[in-house]
Structure 1
C-alpha cells in the first residue's frame, strides 16, 4: 500500500531551493525560502516596457542591469548631437559597475547615493536630496500586475512564464499606443 504522506520539500507552495538560474527562480526571503521569481523592467519615459528580464527572487537588482539593457527588442535611434540619453535607477544600483555600464552604453545615469552613517540621506524637500523619478517604472510594474496570470507565477518552466510576460508587455504597449495611432478607414 502506497503512502500518501509527502516527503520533505514536496509541499504545495513550491519546492525550497528550486531549480535556480535555469528556471529563473531562487529562494524568496519574504516567503519562507520557497522558490520565487523577480521581473526586472526597463521602460521609457511614459512607463511603456522596453525590456523585461526574469531572475531568481533573491538576486540583486544591480546584477541584472546589463541583461535588461541587452534585452531591448526595438533598436533605439542614435541620439542627436545635443541630445543625451538618461537612465534613472534607484539606490539599489549605486555601484561603480552600474555607473560604468551606463557610461559604456552612452547613457547619463541618475542614481541616488546609498545612505551611510557619515552622509545620511537628506530630508524630503531638501535641495540636496535626489529627486524621486522611479515612479515611471513602478507604474509599469503595476500594469503587469493587473494580469492575474503574471502577478503570481504558476509555470514551472521559465520559457513558458517568459512567454506570458512578453505577451503581457505586447498588450500593454498596444493599449498605450493604440489610442495615439490614427485608424485607417478602409475604402469601399
Structure 2
C-alpha cells in the first residue's frame, strides 16, 4: 500500500454521494503524476487534477497575488527590532508593552512619510 492509498483510505468523513454533475475532484501536484498514482486516484472515484511543476511555476509568475509575501513581514520585524526596548521585553505589564509597540509603529510610519519643504509642522 502506497502513502496515497493510505491517505485516501483514511478519509473519515462520510459525505453523501455527489450528483452526477458534481463529482469528487482531487487536486494534486506533480508527485502524483505517475500511472500507479493515477490508477489509485481513479479507483477511489476521484477525478484527478494534477499540475506539473513548470505549469505551477508559470502561473505563479503570471499572477503576482499568488507569490510569497514573507519578505514584507520580515522587513516589518527588522524595523521593530531596531527598538531595543522591544527587542528584549523589559516591561512587566502587557499594556505597557503594547503601548510601546504602538509608539514604535507610529515612529516607523512617520519616518516612512516623505516630508515636504516649506510646510510648517506643528
Q: Fold-level match, TM-score > 0.5?
A: no
Task: Report the structure number with the largest CA radius of gyration.
Answer: 2
- Name the structure where helix makes up a greater proportion of residues: 2
Higher strand share: 1
TM-score (norm 2): 0.42
